[in-house]
């Protein structure tokens, strides 16, 4: 028995490794693309954050300037102090305010006030009101600096309180010129030099330098994080690829294994050899249909059970202990309780693992019944040949002396009265010589049969004519005679006289086995092969003992008083000359069936 397992495979189970490699490559490209994109986005966000921080500082300085304007007259000292206070915040490296000529008006480092600020962005008068930025590196410290350069116009565009305040500061008769406009504030707006006043209306620029160390640290951490994430995703992708390849290999091996198992199961089930395999504990694992036929057990009764319990008659073929690794060959009859058991040759072979440990045993059963029959036929044929040669020699040597003995006995008997003792002895001698002569004739006939005269014979009239020869004997014994012809063709090729001799011999044997009545049935039908015919002669007589069934066709073997033992031997020889076969099946006390198979 074989348990069938259905394997459901994915359409991607057998994808080409190159397709999988291309998919992994695409995944790696996507991972690196998103990693680079995320890094750029992080850098952009950091840049915007620093730029916004710089704008906030510029607004703070502007707000402080406006507050000084509201409280009184602003001067450079107050503005310088404001710049220094603003630059004290964390992350601010310097703040500088310069005019259009590059002269520093205020600086977070007071010593630099009045110096010239050589900055490339100051010459660009076209930058937007919100300013521009650049990232520079300090040549000495290698420190990265984020610089924002923007126009410094702390006053709003000439409206509200600041507009009126500036108008009040201007001399009478002059037109309004709003502070904070791009045009220069008139000279009348300047404070007297004695107050150390600065010019709120001049075109000034402010430069804010921010430390990028913290942002670089964050970006570096993000880079490491993205690198780790990319490596992790790459490892996951590679692991997925390996898993797919493993799954593909596993499914492929499973399919191959299932195909091999199906092929093996089919092969084992179809083999004409019985196969029984057990594990180390003796439980039957394999039990094919041929083994079931030989043993008379079904696979359901055998598989999974102990062999000793299911088939105790072959337990002797499983050696134990130190002999467990031996190979055993033996011939037995199975099933033992069958009237027609199979003659089996069983080979018991151990199954070992790589360490030579016995892990089970397999038994191979070969049916040698037909081989044994052929061997018996060959032995019988050899005996017949030898007997024929001997009979020819004996007949030649004995017949001539018998003729002389018969002549002298006849002459001797003529010299004595008919009823005298001497005359009776002479007649007895003559009768025995004649009996010996008949036996020699039968022996010569058996040893040197005439050639067959094969012709086309209508089978039904032939069978009816052969049965008429025993009709009177059958009536006297109370035996009912029947015949049945189911052969499709009407004529068959055979030697009519010789086959009639065969049938008559079988009929007489059947009648002798039914002394108290019974039934004799003759049937003719197609043989197992389409080119053969089979003639069956069945009787309900006493049958033949099992131990002598194989000997009944041997020459001179007989169980009848006064029999010569050549009847069935002659039957066998005639059938053999027809290139046919003869088989006897008999059950003692129930009857006998003789089956003759002839080529059609």
Do 204 and 263 have their domain in common?
no
Do 168 and 24 have their domain in common?
no
Q: Which two tokens stand for residue 345?
A: 């040759």
Last residue of a domain, one of 165, 191, 212: 212
Last residue of a domain, one of 229, 249, 267: 267
12 lies in some domain: no
Q: What is the CATH number of the domain that holds 536?
A: 3.30.565.10
174 lies in some domain: yes
9 lies in some domain: no
Do 43 and 192 have their domain in common?
yes
Q: What is the domain range of residue 441?
A: 372-447
Q: For residue 377, give the nearest of 543, 554, 527, 594 by alpha carbon.
A: 554
Last residue of a domain, one of 414, 447, 480: 447
Give first-to-last CA distance, the chain, whole Å: 41
Number of domains in the chain: 5
Do 507 and 576 have their domain in common?
yes
Do 462 and 560 have their domain in common?
yes
2 lies in some domain: no
Q: Which residue has the tokens 């310088």?
A: 80
**For the purposes of burial, counting CB atoms within 10 Å of the CB of 510, is it exposed (0-12), middle (13-18) or buried (19 or more)?**
buried
Q: Which two tokens stand for residue 355?
A: 């360490």
463 lies in some domain: yes
284 lies in some domain: yes
Q: What is the CATH number of the domain that holds 312?
A: 3.30.450.20
Do 582 and 464 have their domain in common?
yes
Task: Per-residue pLDDT tens, the chain, 600 aa: give them.
Answer: 444 444 444 444 455 667 767 777 787 787 778 777 877 888 888 888 888 888 888 888 888 887 777 766 556 777 888 888 888 888 888 899 888 788 888 888 888 888 888 777 666 655 556 778 888 887 777 788 888 888 887 765 444 444 454 455 444 444 333 333 333 333 333 333 433 444 454 578 889 988 888 888 887 887 788 788 778 877 887 787 788 778 878 888 888 888 887 877 777 777 888 888 888 888 888 898 888 888 888 888 888 888 888 888 787 777 776 667 788 888 888 876 776 778 888 888 888 887 878 888 888 998 888 888 888 778 877 777 777 777 777 776 777 788 888 888 888 778 888 778 888 888 888 888 887 887 777 777 766 666 888 999 999 999 999 999 899 999 999 999 999 999 888 899 999 998 998 999 999 999 999 988 999 999 999 998 888 999 999 999 999 988 888 788 877 777 776 666 778 888 888 898 898 999 999 998 899 999 999 987
Q: Is the pTM of this model over 0.85?
A: no
Do 25 and 149 have their domain in common?
no
Do 55 and 145 have their domain in common?
yes
Do 154 and 227 have their domain in common?
no
Do 22 and 108 have their domain in common?
no
483 CB contacts (<8 Å, ≥6 apart)?
463, 464, 467, 521, 522, 523, 524
Contact between residue 351 and residue 359 where contact means Cβ atoms under 8 Å apart: yes
Phi, psi for 10 (deg, rounded to 5): -75, 150
Do 413 and 553 have their domain in common?
no
CB atoms within 10 A of CB 284: 23
10 lies in some domain: no
Do 58 and 154 have their domain in common?
yes
Q: What is the CATH number of the domain that holds 385?
A: 1.10.287
499 lies in some domain: yes
Supply the DSSP symbol for 172: T
The neighbouring-strand residues paired with 287 are 276
């Amino acid at each position: 028995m074989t348990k069938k397992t259905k394997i459901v495979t994915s359409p991607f189970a057998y994808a080409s490794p190159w397709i999988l490699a291309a998919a992994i490559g695409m995944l790696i490209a996507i991972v690196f693309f998103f990693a680079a994109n995320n890094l750029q986005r992080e850098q952009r966000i950091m840049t915007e954050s620093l730029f916004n921080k710089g704008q906030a500082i510029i607004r703070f300085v502007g707000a402080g300037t406006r507050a000084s304007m509201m409280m009184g007259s602003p001067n450079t000292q107050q503005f310088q102090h404001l710049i220094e206070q603003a630059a004290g915040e964390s992350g601010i490296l310097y703040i500088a305010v310069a005019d259009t000529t590059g002269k520093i008006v205020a600086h977070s480092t007071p010593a630099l006030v009045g110096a010239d600020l050589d900055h490339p962005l100051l010459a660009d008068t076209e930058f937007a009101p919100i300013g521009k930025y650049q990232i520079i590196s300090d040549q000495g410290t290698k420190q990265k600096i984020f610089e924002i350069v923007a126009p410094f116009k702390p006053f709003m565009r000439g409206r509200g309180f600041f507009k009126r305040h500036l108008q009040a500061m201007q001399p009478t008769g002059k037109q309004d010129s709003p502070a904070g406009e791009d045009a220069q504030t008139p000279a009348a707006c300047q404070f007297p030099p004695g107050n150390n006043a600065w010019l709120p209306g001049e075109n000034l620029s402010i430069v804010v330098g921010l430390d990028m160390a913290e942002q670089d640290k964050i970006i570096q951490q993000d880079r490491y994080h993205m690198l780790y994430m990319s490596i992790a995703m790459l490892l996951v992708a590679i692991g997925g690829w390996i898993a797919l390849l493993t799954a593909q290999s596993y499914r492929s091996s499973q399919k191959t294994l299932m195909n091999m198992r199906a092929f093996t199961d089919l092969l084992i089930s179809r083999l004409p050899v019985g196969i029984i395999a057990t594990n180390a504990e003796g439980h039957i694992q394999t039990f094919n249909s041929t083994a079931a036929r030989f043993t008379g057990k079904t696979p359901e009764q055998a598989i999974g059970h102990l062999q000793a319990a299911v088939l105790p008659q072959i337990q002797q073929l499983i050696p134990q202990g130190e002999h467990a690794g031996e190979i055993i060959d033996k011939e037995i009859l199975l099933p033992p309780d069958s009237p027609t058991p199979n003659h089996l040759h069983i080979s018991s072979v151990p199954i070992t693992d790589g360490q030579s440990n016995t892990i089970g045993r397999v038994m191979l059963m070969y049916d040698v019944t037909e081989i044994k029959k052929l061997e018996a036929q060959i032995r019988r044929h050899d005996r017949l040949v030898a007997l024929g040669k001997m009979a020819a020699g004996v007949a030649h040597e004995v017949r001539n002396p018998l003729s002389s003995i018969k002549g002298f006995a006849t002459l001797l008997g003529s010299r004595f009265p008919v009823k005298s003792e001497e005359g009776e002895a002479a007649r007895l001698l003559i009768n025995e010589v004649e009996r010996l002569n008949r036996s020699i004739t039968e022996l010569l006939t058996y040893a040197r049969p005439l050639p067959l005269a094969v012709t086309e014979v209508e089978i039904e009239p032939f069978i009816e004519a052969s049965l008429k020869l025993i009709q009177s004997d059958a009536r006297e014994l109370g035996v009912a005679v029947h015949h049945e012809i189911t052969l499709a063709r009407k004529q068959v090729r055979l030697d009519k006289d010789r086959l009639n001799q065969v049938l008559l011999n079988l009929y007489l044997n059947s009648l002798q086995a039914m002394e108290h009545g019974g039934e004799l049935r003759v049937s003719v039908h197609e043989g197992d092969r389409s080119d053969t015919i089979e003639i069956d002669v069945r009787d309900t007589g006493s049958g033949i003992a099992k131990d002598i069934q194989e000997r009944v066709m041997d020459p001179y073997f007989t169980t009848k008083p006064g029999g010569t033992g050549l009847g069935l031997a002659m039957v066998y020889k005639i059938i053999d000359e027809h290139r046919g076969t003869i088989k006897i099946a008999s059950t003692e006390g129930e009857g006998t069936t003789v089956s003759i198979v002839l080529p059609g």
